A and B are shown apart, each in its own frame.
Chain A
Amino acid sequence: MSQHLTPPIRRALLLTSLPVYILLYAPLALIAVFSFAPAPGGTAAGLHWYDALLHAPNVLAALRRSLTLALGSSILGTVLGTLMGFGLSRFRSRARSGFAAALPSLIIYTPIIMPSLVFGISELIFFNLMHNATGLFAAGLLTMGIAHVTFQAPYVALVVFARMAGLDPNLFEASHDLYANGRQSFLHLTVPVIRPAIIGGFLLAFTLSIDDFTISYFTAGPGSTTLPIYIYSAVARKGISPDINALATLMIATVIGIGLLQYGFTRQKDRLAVPRTGD
């Protein structure tokens, strides 16, 4: 395609794109630079603020909660999502059309397209009313987990559905002909065949949960501060501070590291380039 544009135009494209790439990374790089600031009263740049993080019980507790929440919700989200993706791909009647046939897709897409603010506030009200009525569902990790499963399951379902669509339907006919019942054929044929999609869906669910701020913020209780909520409260309270710089740098490095690893390990045609706001 390069031969379609003249060298001066290609040079101009390079010169205009380079600043955009710099714009994308400069703010993140700046946080990293500031995170090595010297300790108060000191002059030597170093790892002081990282050391401070390791001795901050609040930060470690928030990290632990984030990981617990992400792990618990992604397991349930992956189970529900996989079953949805599999069931809709295999058993949805192709003959019928109209509203009844489109209903499951509509339900699955709702959590994905609903603005996260509306999502979060709906959950806040719902859990509040439920708590007043029954005494259950006190705001905390449980309510956050329920909300996270609600947005994770549809993404897992889409990943699994896409994998199912790429399979030969005769595969299932063959297992049927060999007198495998539904459960056998699901456990011994479907699960092994779609395993990459299940693992991919689980990882996606996990990162969605770790990244989420808005929905978590509205479903959190007094004792369930996760890492993004911790950062948000610290920033809203005291603005910029070096220990938050260190924490943010670690989060940025982790996410970019995982992103590059994922890119390196996936096959060319399976690469899914999707931007996420992670809100």
Chain B
Amino acid sequence: MQGRAERTERLARAWRLWMTAGPGLFWIVIFLLLPSLILLGIGFFSIGNYGNPHLPLSLEPFREVAGYSILGWSPDNIATILRSLLQAVSAAGLTILLAYPVVFFIVTQPPALRPLLLLFVILPSWTNQVVRTYAWMELLGPGSALSHLAQNAGLIPPHLGLMPGILAMQIGLTYNYLPYMVVPLYAAAEKLDWSLVEAGRDLYASGRRLFWSAVFPQTIPGLLSGIILVAIPAFGDYVVPTLLGGGKSMMIGSLIASQFLDTPNWPYGAALTIFMLIFTCAGLIVFRVMSKRLGSSEGSMI
């Protein structure tokens, strides 16, 4: 009898679960999981005359990703992928350099003031990404004061701006993703065990050594989360390279988007997407293994 009551109870629970969570889960499966599987599948079709997917199945789109086309082999795609990787890595590096002083500045303020100071770092990221990127077009464009400065210093030819180009793209990405580095680092710094610093100071350790051996190791979990949160979206960013990068410095995100917007080539675009997702997953796995090995918790992850 006991077993039967238990089974009815379990069935009732499952029924209620599907009545409440079911519709939302179903919605996501139909309108996101299914479409993204279709997108990935299209990467294995032949390329039709109008860039539409065609039977038979083939690896032609992936050959195109590697740089082969009717015109022969070109290194453009490899350059684009390397450029995206470099931009993602340097965006992470620059946000780290900017975030550390800010985070430790906030942590050393009175507790009542800290949430407000953190909010002021985050607030700009609540504005629209197009608007934020547009602001940098204004700052770096050919007629801007910064461009005049660079022209007079002979850094760029006259009549050209600091934008479009690789530098502008780098600035745009760093600006856009800085809060994503600050928040997890702050979470780690706020929990910092300062007794280690005190102990080191008692042993007359220098400031630099104190930082590297007592403070820095404790912030590594936050740092790793920050790197993931900055590098992955920066790698696939679409708005920044399109508006600030210009035609000569494409990134993989803008390359993918143009296969679906300008001159459609769906299978090629889908193959590029698969390639980008593989890179993303590889990055995630590497950092997951690293943070596991360091024994960090994922509490600082958003």
Contacts and interface: CB of A to CB of B under 8 A. Distances in A.
Nearest to A151: B32
Nearest to B121: A24
Contacts of A24: 120-121, 124, 175, 178
Given A24-B121, A93-B14, A17 B28 contact: no
Interface in A232-246: 232, 235-236, 239-240, 244-245
Residue in B35, B36, B242, B243 with the greatest tally of chain A CB atoms within 10 Å: B35
B104 A13 contact: yes
A20 interface: yes
Interface stretch (A38-46, A56-64, A78-86): A78-86
Contacts of B156: none
Interface in A248-279: 248, 251-252, 255-256, 259-260, 263, 268, 271, 273-279
Interface stretch (B60-68, B74-82, B233-241): B233-241
Interface in B207-259: 207, 232-233, 236-239, 242-243, 253, 256-257
Given A28-B127, A278-B127, A1 B108 contact: yes
Contacts of B183: 273-275
Contacts of A275: 122, 125-126, 179-180, 182-183
Given A118-B236, A126-B35, A240-B141, A80 B124 contact: no
B88 to A, nearest CB: 12
Contact of A122 (B32, B139, B176): B32
A110 B29 CA distance: 10
Contacts of A150: 27-28, 31-32
B150 interface: no
Contact of A276 (B35, B125, B257, B269): B125
A252 B127 contact: yes
A27 interface: yes
Nearest to A112: B302
B39 A92 contact: no
B106 to A, nearest CB: 8
Given A4-B197, A122-B36, A252-B127, A28 B23 contact: no
Q: Please report whether the interface of chain B is mostly helix, strand, loop or mixed according to DSSP.
A: helix
A172 to B, nearest CB: 12
B280 interface: yes
A69 interface: no
30 contacts: A4-B197, A5-B104, A10-B108, A24-B121, A28-B135, A31-B135, A87-B16, A87-B17, A87-B20, A104-B25, A110-B32, A115-B236, A117-B257, A121-B273, A126-B31, A149-B31, A213-B239, A231-B134, A232-B239, A232-B243, A240-B134, A245-B138, A248-B131, A251-B131, A255-B126, A255-B127, A255-B128, A273-B183, A274-B122, A275-B125
Which 6 A-B pairs rank lowest in CB-CB distance, beginning with the nearest? A87-B20, A126-B35, A275-B179, A27-B135, A87-B21, A16-B101
Interface of A: 1-2, 4-6, 9-10, 12-14, 16-17, 20-21, 23-28, 30-31, 34, 80-81, 83-84, 86-88, 90-93, 104, 107-108, 110-111, 114-119, 121-126, 129, 146-147, 149-150, 153-154, 157, 182, 207, 211, 213-214, 218, 228, 231-232, 235-236, 239-240, 244-245, 248, 251-252, 255-256, 259-260, 263, 268, 271, 273-279
B173 to A, nearest CB: 11
B137 interface: yes
B83 interface: no
A91 B198 CA distance: 49
B239 A214 contact: yes
B16 A91 contact: yes
B240 to A, nearest CB: 9
B282 interface: no
A243 to B, nearest CB: 12
A114 B125 contact: no
Given A21-B102, A275-B125, 20 more contacts: A2-B110, A9-B207, A20-B102, A21-B120, A27-B139, A28-B124, A84-B21, A90-B20, A91-B16, A107-B28, A108-B24, A118-B236, A121-B257, A123-B32, A124-B260, A125-B42, A150-B32, A213-B129, A228-B128, A275-B180
A248 B256 CA distance: 28
Nearest to A103: B25
B105 A123 contact: no
A92 B42 CA distance: 35
Contacts of B136: 27
Contacts of B89: none
B123 A256 contact: yes
Interface in B36-57: 36, 38-39, 42
A30 B127 contact: no
Contacts of A12: 101
Contacts of B10: 93
Contact of A27 (B36, B119, B138, B232): B138
